[in-house]
């Protein structure tokens, strides 16, 4: 049993190392660990300390403004949570990398909302622009 635990630990450690190495090669950085977060339009004149909060508020505002519950989803009473992952590229453009949800109708609406994100000033790590990955859950709930 002890050998199985050690083998499991080593396997997990290798997977984590591989993910870290891969992300370093592609220079993808998570929102949680990035030194200088990307700057959403409207957050340029804010202190570095407040930019993460401003970025999150602007994303929430963007979702609120652009969110439309699809008529077909209302008709068929489709609801649930869609997880969307996107990358803010080194040039500030936003690319959707993954969408998972309970139904394609909801996934398409999430894709539409996030495809409307504006170009941003990219995030920086060690003084260089980097690709930053971010994942957001989007809840579709009928009331």
Q: Where are the beta strands (DSSP E) in 4-78?
A: 28-30
Could you give all domains of the chain from N- to C-terminal order, each with its CATH number? 28-140 (3.30.1150)
The tokens of 109 are what? 């609406």
pLDDT at 101: 98
pLDDT, position 27: 65
Q: Is the pTM of this model over 0.85?
A: no
What count of other Cβ atoms lies within 10 Å of the Cβ of residue 52? 17
Are the C-beta atoms of residues 70 and 109 closer than 8 Å to each other?
yes
* Amino acid 29: pLDDT: 78
Q: What is the pLDDT of residue 80?
A: 97
pLDDT value, residue 24:
45
Q: Tokens 């170009």: give the residue.
A: 119
pLDDT in tens, the chain (143 residues): 333 333 333 333 343 333 333 344 456 777 777 888 899 999 999 998 899 899 999 999 999 999 999 999 999 999 999 999 999 999 999 999 999 999 999 999 999 999 999 999 999 999 999 999 999 999 999 98
């Amino acid at each position: 049993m002890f050998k199985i635990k050690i083998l499991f630990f080593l396997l997990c450690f290798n997977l984590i190392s591989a993910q870290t190495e891969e992300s370093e090669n592609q220079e993808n950085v998570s929102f949680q660990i990035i030194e200088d977060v990307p700057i959403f339009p409207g957050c340029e004149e804010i202190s570095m300390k407040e930019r993460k909060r401003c970025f999150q508020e602007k994303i929430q505002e963007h979702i609120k403004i652009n969110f439309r519950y699809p008529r077909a989803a209302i008709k068929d009473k489709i609801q649930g949570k869609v997880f969307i992952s996107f990358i803010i590229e080194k040039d500030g453009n936003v690319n959707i990398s993954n969408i998972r949800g309970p139904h394609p109708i909801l996934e398409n609406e999430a894709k539409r909302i996030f495809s409307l994100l504006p170009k941003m000033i990219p995030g920086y790590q060690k003084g260089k622009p980097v690709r930053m990955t971010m994942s957001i859950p989007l809840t579709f709930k009928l009331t």
